A and B are shown apart, each in its own frame.
Chain A
């Protein structure tokens, strides 16, 4: 098993931390993982992306040429990375912000209103966790329980935000159950 995920969006959308949640989940499940961010000026309000490789074996290359899954948090990300996604791969599109459709026919596209669901969960900043919920429901790579543990651990210093994030996770999972 080797799963390659690219997560992309605006700086501030929690793109890098979404990747880190996946990495922490991988460690928790005793898998090998690399998390590689884009860095530099891109972090200052522009676009931001990270590459996560999860594997049973040691990860050789952290560079992703063609991801199994793209999580596009905004429109420029979808435009930039769509063509790179592997044949038969998955794209999760943040339909709250992206008003175009995936062009390729060979992909599984999921349109999830990440921001709207995050607002529903109580905080728009949980949009990345909504995406995480959708991703695990589609990929079956991690259980809901694993991610819940990661959320509790990562927000242990800010316990107030844990309920929002757990709710966001739940809404993300449910959103793609419906669309499946």
Chain B
């Protein structure tokens, strides 16, 4: 049955249904409904909720809890996610599974609290120090966010990587009708032999660590991480093609801008312009092949990327299109949101 829920609350409930039993957070707009919801809901399911003293502490509590075998999660918004980067780097180095939600606002600095997409680079290129990536999703509707986070802990466990959900203020604040999936049974989750449950001793003891002093050892670990990312790129890529079959102009956008772009495609089609939308759902691994396929098509004339930034994802689009077609960019910042009409106008000015 569909229920009307605010994005942040739906995401929190879906995380619990997906097995999350430890949440650590710190207040920051526009994601406060997630820790608020978790503070009520976690005790009901026998889970742990702590409002930590800082984002730094929160991500390190996630480290401890995930290392001890729990399905752990934190959420924040841009400035808070910056503070978490140290912990995220350690989590990646120690290969701990967890879920991190970033309801992106605009920056840099304290910036503003309205929606933004300026944290794309931070999310998909590393963000903290060292060589690592995260499985990163950019959902465009509350339902998509719910479905992604519901399985995010399974993915995190499978690859022993953090999963990053890159939302924005709109996704967190919007209310939509959603179908919340049933509670997963924690008894069915895979056993974590590597977790420090306290029962290890001597030969059976487990160590959660990211320190490797010998270059050869660290290189081996780094290679192992990137081997996993390669497998993720084969198995986990998700993208939506909307009316791209006969499209001459490929509009591309992710997250809430992706759904706004869909409206624009509908308007353009009504006006006889053959536009389509390629909407990445996984931002890392990036749906490179989908772009390549379209770039090779003779009837495709151009790509047009729309973002709430000065141009971040467009770099990955251009790498994927590889110079085969022109790739244009349109961005708004400061918390101003691109409307369908903005996209229609931008596209039409190129068609004429």
Contact = CB atoms under 8 A, between A and B. Distances in A.
A22 B281 CA distance: 30
Interface in A33-50: 33-37, 39-41
A65 B340 contact: yes
B262 A61 contact: yes
A27 interface: yes
A34 B260 contact: no
B175 A34 contact: yes
Given A60-B259, A60-B263, A37 B339 contact: no
Contacts of A27: 2-4, 177
B2 A63 contact: no
Nearest to B277: A60
A34 B340 contact: no
Given A27-B177, A60-B263, A61-B340, 19 more contacts: A20-B4, A20-B175, A27-B4, A33-B175, A33-B177, A34-B176, A35-B176, A36-B175, A37-B173, A39-B30, A39-B169, A59-B176, A60-B259, A60-B266, A61-B259, A62-B174, A63-B170, A63-B260, A65-B339
Contact of A35 (B2, B174, B340): B174
Interface string B168-209: 011001111100000000000000000000000000000000
A34 B174 contact: yes
A2 to B, nearest CB: 10
Interface string A72-84: 0000000000000
Nearest to A24: B4
A58 B2 CA distance: 13
Contacts, number: 66
Which range holds the interface residue count of chain A? 20 to 34
Contacts of B340: 60-61, 63, 65
B169 to A, nearest CB: 7
A174 interface: no
A63 B176 contact: no
Interface string B319-333: 000000000000000
B152 to A, nearest CB: 23
Interface in B117-171: 141, 169-170
Given A60-B262, A65-B340, A65-B341, A33 B4 contact: yes
Interface in B1-54: 2-4, 29-30
A32 B337 CA distance: 22
A21 to B, nearest CB: 11
B256 interface: yes
Interface in B80-139: 113-114
A132 interface: no
A36 B113 CA distance: 15
Contact of B170 (A33, A62, A66): A62
Interface residues of B, number: 27
Interface of A: 20, 23-24, 27, 32-37, 39-41, 58-63, 65-66
A48 B170 CA distance: 15
B337 A63 contact: yes
Contact of B259 (A37, A41, A62, A66): A62
B38 to A, nearest CB: 19
Contacts of A41: 113
Contacts of B2: 27
B174 A36 contact: yes
A79 to B, nearest CB: 20
Given A60-B340, A61-B340, A35 B30 contact: no
A79 B334 CA distance: 23
Contact of A23 (B170, B175, B256, B339): B175
Contacts of A63: 170, 260, 337-340
B242 to A, nearest CB: 9
Interface string B245-264: 00000000000100110111
Nearest to A58: B141
A150 to B, nearest CB: 11
A156 B253 CA distance: 42
